[in-house]
Amino acid sequence: MQVIQHPAETLRTALVSSRCDLTDRYHKYSRKEQRLLEECLYLGDGSLFRPITVHSDSDWIHSHPEDPQDFQRFYSNPYRSKPIKGHGTIYLQIISRWAEAETGQYVRWLRDYCQAFYYRMVVKLLPPVTVAATGCAFRVSSSSHNLQIHAVERNQLTTPDAFGIMGITMIELYPEDSWNFVTTNWTVDLSSSFNHPRGYMLLKTNEEMGEAGHFIQK
């Protein structure tokens, strides 16, 4: 068993960067703004970076190694999507219909979160569509016998002024044909042309575990 935990100073360097130009830009924030950004770095109940316990070599962190990304790498990424004139709206797209009361509350929470997180961007709701309308491949799982959507394929849902389209579904998702289970946390970094929405996300809520999984195409 292994416990992974980074000290506050390491997390702060990842947040601010070691590049002089990015550090100078950070120090132009007011003390209140800096405190807001840094208060989640320190240990305690309010920290966003709590210790992670790795129980075995088959745990996700060991079996699916990923390159870390600090702010400097994010900022320097040539494929990083940025809002441009005429493409500044995030759309929420329900895929397949749910019970109306359940759908309305969940989508309102998600819309409010996106509106707060993506500051100054417009968030709008789209009418529900069928799985076939997305253009994504789908299958029936041989293990769970449930319908699953291939979440990484290019979809047919387009809106001219979209920065991104976020698909929301209760249907299981899979990122590759070789996968026979559904992950609860998977991010895919792909580029897209200016003629398509700047992003595509499929989000599945898991009622039994109380968790949500998401696939993002930037």
How confident is the model at residue 30, as a pLDDT?
Answer: 93
In a domain, 81, yes or no: no
Looking at the fold, whether 47 and 113 belong to one and the same domain comes out as no
How confident is the model at residue 101, as a pLDDT?
Answer: 60
How confident is the model at residue 24, as a pLDDT?
Answer: 93
pTM (two decimals) = 0.61
In a domain, 70, yes or no: yes
Looking at the fold, whether 119 and 196 belong to one and the same domain comes out as yes
Sheet holding 147-150, edge to edge: 138-140, 147-150, 172-174
- What is the C-alpha separation between 116 and 123, in angstroms, rounded? 10
How confident is the model at residue 42, as a pLDDT?
Answer: 73
Looking at the fold, whether 125 and 154 belong to one and the same domain comes out as yes
Counting the structural domains of the chain, the total is 2
How confident is the model at residue 190, as a pLDDT?
Answer: 31
Looking at the fold, whether 204 and 132 belong to one and the same domain comes out as yes
Give the mean pLDDT per block of 10 residues along the chain (218 residues). Answer: 84 87 91 85 74 82 79 85 84 74 76 86 87 82 79 67 81 73 41 38 48 39
Instruction: From 39, 55, 76, give the residue that closes a domain.
Output: 76
Instruction: From 20, 54, 76, give the residue that closes a domain.
Output: 76
Instruction: From 47, 76, 105, give the residue that closes a domain.
Output: 76
Looking at the fold, whether 132 and 42 belong to one and the same domain comes out as no
How confident is the model at residue 83, as a pLDDT?
Answer: 82
In a domain, 83, yes or no: no
Domain span holding position 7: 2-76
- What is the C-alpha separation between 173 and 151, in angstroms, rounded? 6
